[in-house]
Chains A and B, each alone.
Chain A
Amino acid sequence: MTLLMDTNVIASEPNAHGYAEFTLGEFHFRRDEYFVYVKWPTGSHVMSADAFLRAMQRDVAWNFFYGIVNFDGVVGTVNHYGTVDLFAGRYNDAYRKAEMDHVENFQSENIKATFERMLADWTNASFDPFASPEETGSAFGDKNGSNLAAVTRRRVASRRMVSCDDDEQLRTDATHPINRMFADVAQDSPLVEPEPGFESDVKAYNLFAYLSRSDVTWNPSVVSVCKDSLYCPTTEEYILPIIHGNDRVEWFVQLSDEIIWAVEDRDTGAARTRVVMKPGDVASMPANIRHQGYAPKRAMLLVWENADGALPELYATGKLPSHPVDF
């Protein structure tokens, strides 16, 4: 595993609980049986180890995603697409007022190397940070093996559409059994009848069956691409392990079941809205909010993104309004 060979990572020898401690700039991270402790020059913070690892897993797998990945109300990252801010208290009104907030900017590859190694070292054999709580074992206790296969899953990203040539392929029983909560989802295939010579352009597949076989939760993955318009559906169960702060407008289409969203002001954390989404519902999420979703039963959510790299600047400078449509 190359990630364990990375030499730019500042890691200690195992502590009394068997876990390495990590230093990144002026931040220090350590874990024990139950908790992760984060320290910076003006403050410190504690998180449950399972919540921390679930959040860290998304941040690493998504390459810091769009905008802000809040691990909770205090610590998180801001993606500047090439560099990444690691912050504490920066988007928390009380920490700001107390001047206990702290931000440091890192080259993306450097912070990623540290996060990958932390995730690998702190995830025990019994725990899969991408799985729902009912489908994985405990994150807790002293160091007990590792689960590298789970924490280094390949990110699924279609270039045109799932099932197209040289693209992401359909999921089968051999690698992706149907999830227990989607056992009733129809597995039928569309009838596809290309004329000779048009096999590459006449394509269709069962997206809902594809999603019913997802082995991870809260992990948007591209399935179709119309220039910068990306369909990033994901299957959701329990709580989104991060609070996502937008740097652009994003949209949700509820494909199945129900998700409840808590929406807060991105910069202060003040509550703004609750959004309840049922099958067929569509909602935009403004560019200046952060949100966290709650899914009582595994649900199919279509996250619709605009990957245009110019957007964060346009929203940040007020050249675009934070909501998508005036009516």
Chain B
Amino acid sequence: MTTYVTRFGSLNQYEKGGVEIIDDDPKRYTFSNIFDVAAHSRPYEKVAVGKNRQYVLEAIRAEGDSDWRRTAHDEFALVMDGEVEVVLHRLSPDEEPPEGTQGSIQLGHEPAGPRMGRVVARRGHMTLLPAHAAYRFRAEKPAVVLLQTIEGADTLYRWGEICQTH
């Protein structure tokens, strides 16, 4: 009887597949790898690895403390490698992002609103980053987060560097 081994990737061990073109342009497939992107990112850079109109998927290298960020809509953080602590505070009224803000923006100071709680998430764990909250990531060792969100002022686009082009 076969013993099955489920293969996940990690910062230290990942192997990319790829696009094999028959009659097409590889750029149309925007092919990248989350671990490859995080391996070449600075801590907490929000690098888009997916974009569908205004919506993005950001690959984030979590390492040390992030800045405090605030959001007006739900976001979802999926840990792909390592362990990440998320601390949440309710935004006070004057901390709310300006009307129409999408994605998350810097808070710029310690949160003034009440502490909501914390989550410690490891590989495969998905954490809700709720609307009207401030959050901070902390990772003792380099970790990788995939963030489901909307494009914001701090979303970085490096398609030419991260994607297969030929």
Contacts and interface: CB of A to CB of B under 8 A. Distances in A.
Q: Do A and B come from one complex?
A: yes
30 contacts: A164-B128, A181-B6, A183-B4, A190-B120, A195-B116, A202-B88, A204-B127, A206-B125, A206-B126, A209-B124, A223-B126, A224-B76, A226-B149, A229-B52, A229-B150, A253-B50, A257-B7, A273-B26, A274-B22, A275-B19, A275-B29, A278-B15, A278-B33, A280-B33, A280-B34, A281-B17, A282-B30, A286-B28, A325-B27, A327-B159
Contact of A327 (B50, B116, B122, B160): B160
Given A164-B128, A229-B148, A304-B52, A193 B117 contact: yes
Interface of B: 4-9, 14-24, 26-36, 49-53, 55, 57, 73-76, 78, 80, 86, 88, 90, 114-128, 130, 133, 146, 148-150, 157, 159-160, 163
A263 interface: yes
Interface string A188-202: 111111110010011
Given A229-B150, A323-B28, 17 more contacts: A160-B74, A182-B4, A185-B124, A190-B121, A190-B125, A198-B88, A223-B126, A231-B148, A256-B7, A270-B23, A271-B22, A273-B22, A281-B16, A282-B32, A298-B4, A304-B52, A327-B27
A212 B8 CA distance: 13
A277 B83 CA distance: 25
| 8 smallest beta-carbon distances between A and B, as pairs | A208-B124, A279-B9, A276-B17, A327-B159, A280-B9, A202-B117, A194-B117, A323-B28
B28 A203 contact: no
Given A198-B117, A282-B30, A324-B30, A251 B57 contact: yes
B22 to A, nearest CB: 5
B36 A280 contact: yes
A84 to B, nearest CB: 24
A201 B57 contact: no
Q: Kindly state the interface size class of chain A when it binds its partner.
A: 35 or more
A191 B21 CA distance: 44
Contact of A263 (B24, B114, B115, B122): B24
A294 B130 CA distance: 36
A184 interface: yes
A327 B125 contact: no
B87 to A, nearest CB: 10
B144 to A, nearest CB: 8
